[in-house]
Amino acid sequence: MAHTASTPGPAPSAQPGGISPWAAGGIMFAGVLLLVDGVLGVIKGITGIASDGVYAHVRNYTFKFDVSAWGWIYLVLGIVLGFVGWGILKGAGWARALGVVLAAISLVINFVWLPYQPVWAIISIAIDAFVIWALCTAPAEAVI
């Protein structure tokens, strides 16, 4: 009776090259979340530009801007976030690094936006934090 011993080693992965499926899945999810965050930004931007009465008017706030100014900020940021999210989903190397930077900028902007729309700002902050984590913790060679 022949006996074959298995050799110890890493568990087989679903992707060639030994990349963890969790890492590739995290990057894909980060790309999708950047797209979603971009769409939310565009919606917030168009809403702010179209009507000043939609968002709360904040008094005595250090970072007080006109609501239409916030609208333009969110519109531009949303378009860029969506573009970078698409780049991540396509596997572009530049998009991964730019995604971390833009998610960090978006996180800070959403923190400053808290008094105007607390619920949406917190949702966007959570999305941005996950995107930063997913893009920073996946191995450099991980691709979608």
Residue 39 placed within a domain:
yes
Residue 20 placed within a domain:
no
Residue 104: give the domain boundaries. Answer: 30-55+67-137
Check residues 56 and 30 and name the one with the higher pLDDT: 30
Residue 115 placed within a domain:
yes
Residue 42 placed within a domain:
yes
Residue 91 placed within a domain:
yes
Run of H or E residues at 67: helix 67-90
Tally of domains within the chain? 1
Residue 129 placed within a domain:
yes
| Residue-wise pLDDT tens digits, 107-132 | 999 898 888 788 888 998 998 999 99
Q: Which residue has the tokens 């006996």?
A: 3
pLDDT-based confidence at 22, cuts 50/70/90?
low
**Cα 60 to chain centroid, rounded:** 31
Residue 102 placed within a domain:
yes
Residue 35 placed within a domain:
yes
| H helices, E strands: number in the chain | 4, 0
CA 15/CA 50 separation, integer angstroms = 47
Q: What pLDDT is attached to residue 1?
A: 54
Task: Please work out, in degrees rounded to the nearest 5, the angle formed at the alpha carbon of residue 116 by the alpha carbons of 120 and 131.
Answer: 35
* % of residues, the chain, pLDDT over 90: 34
